Amino acid sequence: MELRADQFQRQLDNQPLARCYLLAGDEPLQVLEAADALRATARAQGFDEREVLHAEPGFDWGQLASAGASLSLFADKRLLELHLTDKGPGKPGSAAITEYAKNAPDSTLLLIIATPLAASARKSAWYKAIVKAGVAMYAWPLPGARMVQWVEQRARGNGLTLNRDAVALLAEQTEGNLLAAAQEIDRLALLHPDEMIGAAEIEAAASDHTRFGIFDLPAKAMAGDAAGALRTLSRLRAEGVDAVPITWALVREIRMLYQAALAARANRLDAMLGKIFMPPARKRQLGEAAGQADPALLADLLRRAARLDQINKGAAAGRAWDELITLTLGLSGKPVRQSAILANRP
């Protein structure tokens, strides 16, 4: 059968486990959470062993058949995960998946994860084979009315009470981005426990998040907006935000860009991005930045970040905010970053 994301949990709760599942779509959050729910259900039903295959370019599709046919050494039942890139399995993969679906063993549960997935793939033989043999869930972008319903249900599930105006405003502000909406709901639940939240609280939280949120800084830097990123850093400092969480946010972004830049030079960028769960627009930004970034310079930034960590802990001398400026400029990709890094080299 073929399901929408909002139907998947109900199907898991009310129907026996199928032998094959395909979780795909344009909403990474829904795909990720559906996969977590399936794994939990499978564990509860005795699928104690898990094997993961990544169908990167050059993948030997014979591994899929071998994994399905081989006996588990540690458990009677096994969960076999197959992660596809956004390009799908290709001809050899399509044949392998189709054949597996026709002869899927009872002792192995196959979970295929693909986010996003090309529209043409839903018409392919392998996709139809999974639908026939098991369950396919596709996470479509949510239109306005369904986005409002999703926000309301998500808030209720997190113990958060929003009035009608607050629900509508939050849905409008996050513009269909479920990951952003989920993060905002989590934050509101912390800020306003056991309160009825209206539009005023949503607007205040959004304003505070826009002006002073630490995630705004690496996002601007990654986009090449060095001036905007430095203004955000200055405001964070003026508001008394500690350097430690800002360091964490910058280092996380630098490390991800460094790994992507190395993958780009090894012609493995698509394979790497295929393993990451993030909004498609964010993934495109990372891919574009990786193609232009210098891995050596990013490695130098990570070394400086390690020194900044020591400064934050009081184990090394230095000025943390100066080092944060250096990291921000480095992540922005502007020519000035190199001279700034070299001038501050220990």
What confidence tens digit (pLDDT) does each residue in 69-98 have? 765 555 578 899 998 877 788 889 999 999
Look at residue 211 in the predicted model and tell me its pLDDT: 44
Look at residue 18 in the predicted model and tell me its pLDDT: 93
pTM here is: 0.59
3-state helix, strand, coil in the chain (%, to 5): 60, 10, 25
Residue among 254, 255, 256 at smallest CA distance from 283: 256
Tell me which of 279 and 224 has the higher pLDDT.
224
| 3-class SS of residue 161 | strand
**Whether residue 69 sits in one domain with residue 54:** yes
CATH of the domain at 71: 3.40.50.300
* pLDDT of 109 over the 90 cut: yes
**Whether residue 9 sits in one domain with residue 127:** yes
* Average pLDDT of every residue of the chain: 83
User: Per the structure, how many domains does the chain have?
Assistant: 3
Residue 126 near residue 97 (C-beta atoms within 8 A): yes
CATH of the domain at 157: 1.10.8.60
DSSP β-bridge partners for residue 113: 23, 83
Q: How far is CA 121 from CA 23, 65, 133, 177, 281, in A?
A: 13, 21, 17, 23, 20
**Whether residue 17 sits in one domain with residue 118:** yes
Residue 187 near residue 163 (C-beta atoms within 8 A): no
* pLDDT of 343 over the 60 cut: no
Q: What is the pLDDT of residues 274-306, one digit of tens each?
A: 776 566 677 788 888 888 888 888 888 888 888
| 3-class SS of residue 139 | strand
Look at residue 336 in the predicted model and tell me its pLDDT: 39
| 138-141-147 Cα angle (round to 5) | 120
Look at residue 344 in the predicted model and tell me its pLDDT: 39
* pLDDT of 210 over the 60 cut: no
Look at residue 340 in the predicted model and tell me its pLDDT: 39
Look at residue 74 in the predicted model and tell me its pLDDT: 53
Percent of the chain whose pLDDT exceeds 90: 24
